[in-house]
Structure 1
Amino acid sequence: MTVFKKHRLLVLVLFLGIFLPGFGQNSATSQTIDSLSAIYQQYLYSQPKKAAKAAKEWLAIAKKAGLKQQQARAYYALGNLENSSGDYKNTVVHSKKTIELLKELESDSGLATSYNLLALGYKNMGNYTQAMESFLHCLDYAKKDNDQQQQANAYQNIATLYILQKEHKKAIENLSRATHLFKELGDENGIYTTLFNFANILKEQGRFEEAREHYKTVLDYRKKENNKTVIAYININLSQMLVEEKKYGQAVVSLKKTLKLLQELQFKSDMAIVYNDLGICEDKLGHTGQAIAYFQQALKIGEEQTLLSYNTDFYKNLAQLYKTQGDYQKALTFYEKSIRAQAAQNSLSKEKYVANLQERYETELKEARIKLLENEKKLNEFELQKAALSVKKQRLLRNVFIGGFVFVLISLLVLRRFYLQRLQVQKELYLQKEKNSEQQINQMIKDHKLAVIERHQQGQDEERERLAREIHDGIGGDLAGIKIAFENYVEDQPQKPQVKRILEGINNACTDVRALSHQLHPLPFSKIGFCSFLKDFIQQVSKNSTLSIQGFFYPEEAIDNLPNDLLIATYRVVQELINNICKHSEATQAEVQLTRHQQHLNILVNDNGIGFRKSKKPGIGLRNIKERLQQINGTIEIDSSADSGTSITINIPLKHPF
């Protein structure tokens, strides 16, 4: 007799809350659907009929309103119920419909859960290949969405698939992954589900006492939440352990109690399993007639639900009982049905079972015919082997010839490939050498240009220094002597207005000469403060012209601490820009901003003048600025128009940013 080992535990995690509400539905439709969804979830585990009725109404309303998202949810709800009740064929149909609608909506949300349900349907139909493929799809989508809940569910169900295939090591590995994720999520329900499947493994290994402890722990938890579905599954496993322990009387009591709960839930496939186990127990207790009745009830459900993997064993159990009673005709009939059912399930030939029955129950004449056929078959096989040997020799010679030809051909192709690769490498080396040479030439040209610019700037600075010294020591000294002589002269002369104006002119000339000398060759900025010096320069230009200039420097202390060579370059650039504004822009207002950033110094100079054309050839002043900036790796951007004047932005990188 065959005892079915119950390992199926659905991970009933609905994705009803994952989908977004359907677009375009009115409030009345929305309220109706929400109400039906609530009824479905309320009665899912306790009263499946009410839950199914709500799901069907839900689907009809969603179709009428054209709400595909709600249709997908309703199809999933129906598939989930059908999987629990044992209608696996419709579970697969409705799961596929859910996936199809979600893909039409281009919505990944819910696909992991839908593939999980599809895989459960395939698994319970015995199609383990499709089940594993669907579980892996579920896992892929769950990882893509970083959905740890669905990843845990997928690992959980993959483990149950391995349990059915008796690959306990792989099952334990996947259950461990699921347990780890459930603990991270704080999912108590998932943890107890995993414990149930560990109990299944212990049961499969014959460790009944350990398995019973785990089952009872899970049972206490499920009773608290009134989850009749899982309570039924646990009772099936507890009952089957009693059967395997040959405690048939206790098993019958437990199985009848479980059957009553399954009838209430309308889980037909599970009812078939319990009927089968009751038949086994009654047979062992000597109640053959009652055993046959139970097996026939199991077979009736199995044929209605197309439970091919179960029907095979139902047929075999009935055949065994009829054989025991001596009713060989019925025994043969049920053996033949079991063979056809097995063939339909896995496409493997089971004709040997029929042959054995025929040898046992048919006449000696038929046995003789079978032996004669066997002898003829052996003779034919001998002839075939002889012919096959000849063909094999011919094939061997042909294969040797073809193999030699292929070897030579491959060798030529390999040599040709190596030759082409060598040519390609040589070509690439030549091109790389040309590229390196071109880069070296460009670098030498660039270095030469920079050296020329540097020498030019150095010459300008030296000339400025010489002029500053000549002006300060020559003209400045002469003006100072003139001032002292004139002051001595006018001491003995009556005070006249002309004398005062002359003295003021001399003073102004001395001041201008000193300022010009400092502009041409300023003292080290570390001594006088760069920002203060630049402010004085701006004020002096504003004072001696119609141009009003405002200066903004931030932060001044950080700017003053910059290297002296960089400050000199900055001063020359600002000086040249202001001189250009005074000479060419016809501006009345200008603004100079210096801002020290972490990696660079920013210079911004604006004026409200007439601007200039970008296409115009740059003058000497602007060319000097660009050369000076090139020397210190600075950049310049010019924005000029007739209506808004000119704005020049300069960025100078800092070698030692703060």
Structure 2
Amino acid sequence: MSLYLRAFANLRKKALLTINDKEEINVHRLVQAVTWDSMNEQQRKSSFNTVLQLLVRKFPKETNGRQMWQKWPRCERLLPHVLFLLGMFCDHFPKGHKCAQLAELLGHCTWFLFESGHFGQVAKLVETLESTCPEQQKEILAKAIFIRAGLCADNNRVKEADLLIKQCIELREQDLDSNSPDLCNAYYSAGIISMECGRHGESLNYHNKEIAGRNACGDDDQTQTAVAFQNLALLYLKQNLVDDAEKNLNKAIEIFRASSGANSDRYAEVLFDMGNLHLSQNNITDGLKIHQEALQIREKITPRHFKTGFSFHKVAAILCRMRNHSEAKKHIERALQIFESTWDSAPRVARASFLYGQVLEQMGEHKRAEGAHLEAARLRESITTFPTVKTETMDSYDLLVNSWFRWRSCCTIMMLSA
């Protein structure tokens, strides 16, 4: 013990080891490399397994299919350790080597990254997760497929998402009870994806399965049940059943306010949908107010998340409609900043660039507007993951993102109020 303490003190003295204000120990990479190189193979495996077991215990886990956003800070602190460990695994184990505990850890880590919108890292990690996961760990394999389906769905690759979510459901139905929260999650994703594919009857069936499952499993704080109502509202809104959509959104808002709170990511998400519903009724003032509230929450909790970008985009579109072009410009510029740093950004950036051009045009900045429109067209041309409509209108650019992110466009609102 005394040798350890002396070594610890010497490393701190030479700034090769530091302790931050959270009492986390940071070891210089040189020390890590020298220590690792000095180990024999058995010591390396033992060290790897020790760290792996520790991270499996300490990395936050989603429970009963709920979001982890309240645990994001802890996840972010542990993420570098997971990635470092993964690097060691890839360097020192043969490709295709199976490791059940590593797959379990990557499952939790990848879910956090997906939930927090770090799609670039998700795309890389989910492949490693699948390759390291033993075949008998169907639950983890299903999670990997579920995450890939979500990744595709949120990036408008609905045909890919449709195939993946069905694979996930098949695995989970084989392995889980009908009222399992994880199976319910797969049902709600399938409901949203089939809605986007235009299969509304199938979508309704999945949503009803989800709600029945939530009721059967006992959703203690009702958070996931609220998600079910929210998703059902999207289906009703898609079918222009506005009253039914509003009833379900109000149920979701009431539950979220009582469970996750009025400053949560989930609450902001349902506000976004409610704002869109008001816009669909040409209630511009209330729609703007609700979207601004959603944006305020998102900007505080998830400032770089692509959904925050969508909130900036939506508020910009409404402000453009209200001829507040200077504020619209500020908001769409913030949306562009966020979108440009996201994975598979071309569809979102193209759409935002076109709106940016529209705003600049209204402000008399014709040359810059032309540049923004040309950039939008160039980016749209680069998209190969789904078919695009090649017309220079806001409505056609809106089709570059999922319906639940757009609903009524600025142009559509203008037509409604004409």
TM over 0.5: yes
Is 1:52 aligned to residue 82 of structure 2? no
Q: Contact 1:113–1:138 (CA<8 Å) still a contact in 2?
A: yes
- Mapping of 1:120-159 within 5 angstroms? 120-148=150-178, 149=180, 150-159=182-191
Preserved CA contact (<8 Å) 1:175 1:194: yes
Match of 2:30 in 1: none
Number of the residue aligned with 1:388? none
**Residues 40 and 55, structure 1, Cα contact 8 Å, conserved in 2:** no
Counterpart-to-counterpart distance in 2, 1:232 and 1:353: 31
Answer whether contact 1:40 1:50 (CA < 8 A) is retained. no
* Counterpart among 170, 176, 182 of residue 214 in structure 2: 182
Note closer, same or farther for the CA distance 1:107–1:331 as it changes in structure 2 (3 Å cut).
same
Corresponding residue of 2:416: none
Contact kept, 8 Å, 2:114 with 2:122, in 1: the verdict is: yes
Distance verdict in 2 for CA 1:36–1:224, change over 3 Å: farther
User: Which residue, out of 218, 225, 231, partners 2:259?
Assistant: 225
Q: Shift of the alpha carbon at 1:31?
A: 7.1
- Alignment correspondent of 1:191: 225
Is 1:168 the counterpart of 2:192? The answer is no
Structure 2 counterpart SS, 1:109: helix
5+ unaligned residues in a row in structure 2: which ranges? 1-44, 394-418
1:135 deviates by 0.9
Instruction: Give ranges in structure 1 of 5+ residues lacking alignment.
Output: 1-22, 355-658
SS at match of 1:278: helix
Measure, in 2, the Cα distance between the counterparts of 1:26 and 1:304: 33
Structure 2 counterpart of 1:318: 356
Task: Tell me, yes or no, if structure 1 residue 111 matches structure 2 residue 141.
Answer: yes
Alignment correspondent of 2:270: 234
Structure 1 residues 205-249: Cα deviation after superposition (integer angstroms, max 9, x where no partner):
344443233223223323333262211211111222233334333
Map Cα deviations across residues 29-52 of structure 1 (whole Å, 9 max, x no partner): 577335523488799222523322
Calculate percent identity across the aligned residue pairs. Answer: 10
Question: 1:256-405 residue pairs with structure 2 within 5 A?
Answer: 256-266=292-302, 268-305=305-342, 306-346=344-384, 353=392
- Aligned-partner Cα distance in 2 for 1:341–1:331: 15
CA distance in 2, matches of 1:321, 1:49: 37
Q: What secondary structure is seen at the aligned counterpart in 1 of 2:138?
A: coil
Q: Which has the higher strand share?
A: 1
Aligned to 1:629: none
**Correspondence 1:548-559 to 2 at 5 A:** none
Contact 1:315 1:334 in 2 (8 A): yes
2:414 alignment partner in structure 1: none
Q: Which residue of 1 aligns with 2:26?
A: none
**How many residues in Structure 1 have an aligned counterpart in Structure 2?**
331
Q: CA RMSD in A?
A: 3.3
Is the 1:295–1:314 Cα contact (8 Å) retained in structure 2? yes
Q: CA contact under 8 A between 1:56 and 1:74: conserved in structure 2?
A: no
- Kindly indicate whether residue 131 of structure 2 is the aligned counterpart of residue 95 of structure 1: no
Assess, with a 3 A threshold, how the Cα gap between structure 1 residues 348 and 96 changes in structure 2: closer, same or farther: same
> Which AA in structure 1 matches 2:300?
E
* 1:111 aligned partner, one-letter code: L
Q: Is the 8 A contact 2:317 2:328 kept in 1?
A: yes
Residue pair 1:47, 1:265 contacting (<8 A) in 2 also = no
C-alpha distance in 2, partners of 1:24/1:108? Answer: 27
Name the larger-Rg structure: 1
Q: 1:68 deviation in Å?
A: 2.9
CA distance in 1, matches of 2:289, 2:204: 32
- Residue 59 of structure 2 is matched in structure 1 by 37
Please state how far the C-alpha of 1:195 moved relative to its aligned partner: 1.5
User: 1:290 aligns to what SS in structure 2?
Assistant: helix
Q: CA deviation at 1:274?
A: 0.7
CA 1:133–1:244: 2 relative to 1, 3 Å: same
- Aligned ranges 1:566-605 → 2 under 5 Å: none
Letter in 1 for 2:107: Y
One-letter code of the match for 1:285?
M
Q: Secondary structure at the match of 2:59?
A: helix
Would the aligned equivalents of 1:33 and 1:61 in 2 still touch at CA under 8 Å? no
1-side partners of 2:336 and 2:218: how far apart? 42
Calculate the TM-score normalised by the size of structure 1: 0.45
Q: Which moves more between the two structures, 287-296 or 61-70? A: 61-70
- Structure with more contact order per residue of length (Cα contacts < 8 Å, sep ≥ 6): 2
Q: How many angstroms apart in 2 are the aligned matches of 1:27 and 1:328?
A: 61
- The one-letter code of the counterpart of 1:314 is A
- The residue that corresponds to 1:402 in the other structure is none
> Whole-Å Cα distance in 1 between the matches of residues 238 and 307 of structure 2?
18
d(CA) in 1 for partners of 2:101, 2:212: 33
Shift of residue 272, structure 1, vs aligned partner: 0.9
Q: Distance in 1 between matches of 2:234 and 2:143?
A: 24
Q: TM-score, normalised to structure 2's length?
A: 0.69
Match of 1:215 in 2: 249
User: Which residue in 2 is equivalent to 1:493?
Assistant: none
Query: Which deviations, in whole Å up to 9, do the C-alpha atoms of 1:56-77 show, x marking residues without a partner?
Result: 4355457769893332233222
Question: 1:167, 1:292 → 2: CA distance?
Answer: 37
Shift of 1:154: 2.0
Q: Which residue of 2 aligns with 1:593?
A: none
